[in-house]
Amino acid sequence: MHWIHDLNKEQRKYIYNKYSKICKYITYMMIISFMLILYSVRYFVIENNIILLALSMIIHGILGGTLIIYGNTLTAVRFKEMKKRNKYTSIGLYFGLYLIPKISSIVLEQFLTINY
């Protein structure tokens, strides 16, 4: 991450635009993979096949990790101050690694206890 401090304004703007497009596309792919997770939960409950559910969760996790890496670089390019950057990164990590899996596991648990 130290290479970011050596960039001038034009390079920062170029990297910010490029990475924000990448983050936008990864977010769209994560929404699609979340829909795939919901569909595969239905498929798992009806036909008792866990392979599609496991694959879609792995894809969603890989996309989430990639989004965290690109988003961290994006906030580092956008905000020079370390305090502001750490705040946005910690909010993103909190939502990405703790809150969303917690909510989805609670929903999945409720869904499975209703149907079984």
pLDDT in tens, 91-103: 666 666 677 677 7
Summarised one tens digit per residue, pLDDT across range 31-79 is 888 888 888 887 777 777 777 877 888 888 788 778 877 777 777 777 6
What is the spatial distance between Cα 75 and Cα 87, in angstroms, rounded to a whole number? 10
Tell which residue, 72, 70, 60, 69, has the closest CA to residue 100: 60
